[in-house]
């Protein structure tokens, strides 16, 4: 994730949609990558939306409090709408 975020930021990304549909497990290192990516995009006044978290990954995000930091939506279409319209 660190490399993917670095590449996106070096390409000038200000909006990131992270589709988590294939992720069944996330470690503390993965959470760290997300937090660093989130901080970087916030510095650029950008937006990151995560979608399609599996039940196990969703549980980790809730237990760690990351569900209160990130915009998390059920699917890609929801994420695209949130990126276009911004958070309520």
Q: Is 41 helix (H, G, I), strand (E, B) or coil?
A: helix
**pLDDT mean over 17-22:** 96
CB 70 within 8 A of CB 38: yes
- Domains contained in the chain, number: 1
Query: Does 88 score more than 60 pLDDT?
Result: no
What is the pLDDT confidence band of residue 85, given thresholds at 50, 70 and 90? Answer: confident
Query: Does 86 score more than 80 pLDDT?
Result: no
Give the C-alpha separation, 40 to 52, whole Å.
Answer: 22
- Give me the pLDDT at residue 80, please: 94
- Give me the pLDDT at residue 50, please: 98
pLDDT, one tens digit per residue, over 57-83 is 999 999 999 999 999 999 999 999 999
Q: Which domain holds residue 57?
A: 2-85
- Give me the pLDDT at residue 63, please: 97
Alpha helices by DSSP H, listed for the chain, are: 2-10, 28-43, 55-64, 76-85
pLDDT, one tens digit per residue, over 29-67 is 999 999 999 999 999 999 999 999 999 999 999 999 999
Q: Which residues of 1-31 are buried (b: 16+ CB within 10 A; e: fewer)?
A: beeebeebbeeeeebbbbebeebeebeeeee
Q: What is the CATH number of the domain that holds 49?
A: 3.30.750.24
């Amino acid at each position: 994730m660190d490399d993917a975020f670095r590449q996106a930021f070096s390409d000038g990304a200000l909006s990131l949609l992270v589709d988590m549909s294939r992720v069944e497990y996330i470690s503390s290192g993965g959470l760290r990558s997300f937090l660093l990516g989130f901080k970087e995009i916030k510095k650029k006044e950008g937006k990151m939306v995560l979608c399609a978290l599996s039940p196990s990954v969703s549980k980790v995000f809730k237990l760690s409090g990351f569900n209160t930091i990130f915009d998390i939506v059920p699917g890609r279409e929801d994420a695209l709408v949130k990126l276009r319209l911004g958070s309520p």
